[in-house]
Amino acid sequence: MIRPSAARSHVDTLAEYLKERLPHHRRDTLRRVAEVLFGILQAESTLHRKIALHIDREATPASITRMVARTFHETNLTPQDVCDVLL
């Protein structure tokens, strides 16, 4: 597992990269997306409760799990947004 401080640094770096590629999205939304993406990679799962265990926040696991669910359902990334990031 990545140390929390190192993970936070990686999340910030990915969030900045996403903001450069997707300037029409809010910075806090993209930071949440970055946190969830790293959580997915670390958890090796897409189960919200497993992802939540790998997100470093001062909140209850249930609260983080709800944040993960909201990120999946409310982010509104289009297929074009995903292509812009990948390319």
> What pLDDT does residue 43 have?
94
Q: Quick check: 3 pLDDT over 60?
A: no
CA dist., res. 28 & res. 54, Å (int): 18
Residues 27-82: tens digit of each pLDDT: 999 999 999 999 999 999 989 999 999 999 999 999 999 999 999 888 888 888 88
Look at 16 and 85; give whichever has higher pLDDT: 16
Helix axis angle, 4-21 to 79-86, nearest 10°: 110
pLDDT tier at 84, thresholds 50, 70, 90: confident
Distances (CA, A) of 77 to 4, 31, 41, 80: 27, 13, 19, 8
Look at 85 and 39; give whichever has higher pLDDT: 39
Residue ranges per structural domain of the chain: 1-43, 56-86
pTM of the model: 0.83
CA dist., res. 50 & res. 15, Å (int): 21
**Contact present, 16 and 30 (Cβ < 8 Å):** no
> What pLDDT does residue 74 have?
87
| The two structure tokens encoding residue 44 | 């090796």
